[in-house]
């Protein structure tokens, strides 16, 4: 059987990894400034992560959500402490799209309404409602097309106010990334997020903070939305949450009440996924990774801004977008094949840096040296 051919692939076969480094099957070594697509939060094969998962596997790998699974509560307690959201409720699922799907559904259940506000260049996943709230017509199948989603320009407070004024009573939720990832590393302004909070309060809508890519410490705060100083009603997390193990979360404010059967999943919250997520949260705490993301993020951003080749450098913490001039379209590929550095991209010519939050200064310097030499 052949694999369904959905990804354009680099001609590299990875075999093992450690920290911020990856080796291929020919023994070549690469610096991972891409974090396997913002997923590697604490570093590849971190010893605490490997131990927690291995220990858990020896105890029990899976049982259904029909019984008490204590490690779920242990995870919720730890995440509450690490993030400061101690009074939120946690629903565990498996991927970013699923987390957003559940968040939107929950908002609709809660409000009894159908309309969603999303923004230009947003990416929220590929399942039905998540993809409908994604600003990319190419990936929206005819069956996913719906007029329940209204797209507004990102960071446009006047457009947001006008939309609420017109149909505020019909709006169930506003969904927004704190820093748009796929869209090219666009930071939501603090006042925009504050305006979303205020409009949702005024009209009884639910503010959903998609933190799948920008959350889990990547921005230097636990949630990138936290920089605005106002809470969301729901946060969604995935990618960095399991450092590669599929696990996702919907973080739900106390005023949103559950009922049995409202949400559900077979695999969500299984003991292995919880062990992975706990290992990540514990490592973020013990290794002070939020501070590391802030410090190294500032360092990289400032150094990159000083380089003549960069047109613009955006982001927060270790979520950095670099605009390149049109004549440098091959820089990312050259970084990979000539210098051994993985990076991400966004169209048309943005290099995305999403490394492990445990990146060291020496590794940042290795990247800067490679980048500036091309």
Ligand X SMILES: Cc1ncc(COP(=O)(O)O)c(C=O)c1O
Minimum Å gap between C-beta 263 and ligand X is 16
Strands 206-210, 234-237: pairing is parallel
Minimum Å gap between C-beta 241 and ligand X is 10
Which of residues 215 and 364 has its CB atom nearest to ligand X in the complex?
215
Which of residues 182 and 228 has its CB atom nearest to ligand X in the complex?
182
Minimum Å gap between C-beta 239 and ligand X is 6
The contacts of residue 199 (CB under 8 Å, 6+ apart) are: 160, 161, 164, 168, 174, 205
Which of residues 98 and 363 has its CB atom nearest to ligand X in the complex?
98
Which of residues 182 and 278 has its CB atom nearest to ligand X in the complex?
182
What are the residue ranges of helices labelled H in 119-156?
128-132
Minimum Å gap between C-beta 36 and ligand X is 12
Give the number of residues in contact with ligand X, rule: CB under 6 A: 14
175 lies in the site for ligand X, by CB under 6 A: no
Render 2-24 in DSSP notation, one character per residue: PPP--SPPPS--EEEEEBTEEEE
Tokens 């998962």 -> residue:
53
Among 22, 71, 172, 212, binds ligand X (CB under 6 A): 212
Among 182, 318, 350, 358, binds ligand X (CB under 6 A): 182
State which of positions 227-256 bind ligand X (CB under 6 A): 238
Which of residues 249 and 271 has its CB atom nearest to ligand X in the complex?
249
Minimum Å gap between C-beta 210 and ligand X is 5
**Dist. CA 181–CA 124, nearest whole Å:** 10
What are the Cα distances from residue 97, in Å, to 93, 100, 217, 237, 275?
A: 10, 5, 19, 10, 21
**Dist. CA 301–CA 323, nearest whole Å:** 12
The closest of 44, 85, 71, 33 to 273, measured between CA atoms, is 71
Angle subtended at Cα 194 by Cα 212 and Cα 90, rounded to the nearest 5 degrees = 40
Q: Which one of 136-144, 177-185, 190-198, 312-320 is the stretch in contact with ligand X (CB under 6 A)?
A: 177-185
Q: Which one of 210-218, 258-266, 270-278, 346-354 is the stretch in contact with ligand X (CB under 6 A)?
A: 210-218
Q: Which stretch of DSSP H or E encloses residue 352?
A: strand 350-353
Q: Tell me the two tokens of residue 351.
A: 């290099």
Which of residues 136 and 286 has its CB atom nearest to ligand X in the complex?
136
State which of positions 100-139 bind ligand X (CB under 6 A): 100, 123-125
Which of residues 96 and 321 has its CB atom nearest to ligand X in the complex?
96
**Dist. CA 246–CA 134, nearest whole Å:** 21
State which of positions 213-232 bind ligand X (CB under 6 A): 213
Radius of gyration of the chain (CA): 20
DSSP 180: E
Among 210, 226, 233, 363, binds ligand X (CB under 6 A): 210
The contacts of residue 344 (CB under 8 Å, 6+ apart) are: 34, 37, 38, 351, 352, 353, 354
In the complex, residue closest to ligand X by CB: 96
The contact set with ligand X (CB under 6 A) reads: 95-97, 100, 123-125, 177, 181-182, 210, 212-213, 238
């Amino acid at each position: 059987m052949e694999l369904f051919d959905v990804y354009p692939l680099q001609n590299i076969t990875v075999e093992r990894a450690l920290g911020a480094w990856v080796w291929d099957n020919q023994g070549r070594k690469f610096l991972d400034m891409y974090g396997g697509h913002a997923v590697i939060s604490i570093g590849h094969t971190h010893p605490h992560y490997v131990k927690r998962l291995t220990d858990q596997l020896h105890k029990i790998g899976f049982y259904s959500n029909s019984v008490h699974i204590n490690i779920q509560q242990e995870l919720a307690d730890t995440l509450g402490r690490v993030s400061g959201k101690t009074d939120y409720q946690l629903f565990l699922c498996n991927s970013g799209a699923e987390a957003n799907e559940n968040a939107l559904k929950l908002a609709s259940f809660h409000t009894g309404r159908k309309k969603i506000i999303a923004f230009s260049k947003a990416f929220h996943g590929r399942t039905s409602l998540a993809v409908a709230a994604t600003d990319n017509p190419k990936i929206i199948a005819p069956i996913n097309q719906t007029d329940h989603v209204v797209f507004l320009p990102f960071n446009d407070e006047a457009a947001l106010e006008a939309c609420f004024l017109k149909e505020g009573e019909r709006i169930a939720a506003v969904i927004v990334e704190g820093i748009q990832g796929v869209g090219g590393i666009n930071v939501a302004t603090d006042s925009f997020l504050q305006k979303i909070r205020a409009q949702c309060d005024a009209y009884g809508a639910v503010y959903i903070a998609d933190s799948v890519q920008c959350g889990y410490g990547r921005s230097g705060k636990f949630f990138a939305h936290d920089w605005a100083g106002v809470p969301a009603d729901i946060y969604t997390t995935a990618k960095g949450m399991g450092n590669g193990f599929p696990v996702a979360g919907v973080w739900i404010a106390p005023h949103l009440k559950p009922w049995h059967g409202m949400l559900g999943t077979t695999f969500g919250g299984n003991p292995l996924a919880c062990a992975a997520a706990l290992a990540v949260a514990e490592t973020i705490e013990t290794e002070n990774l939020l501070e590391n993301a802030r410090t190294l993020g500032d360092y990289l951003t400032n150094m990159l801004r000083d380089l003549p080749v960069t047109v613009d450098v955006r982001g927060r913490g270790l979520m950095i977008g670099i605009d390149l001039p049109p004549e440098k379209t091959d820089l990312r590929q050259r970084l990979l094949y000539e210098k051994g550095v993985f990076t991400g991209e966004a169209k048309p010519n943005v290099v995305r840096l999403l490394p492990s939050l445990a990146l060291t200064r020496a590794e940042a310097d290795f990247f800067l040296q490679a980048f500036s030499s091309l």
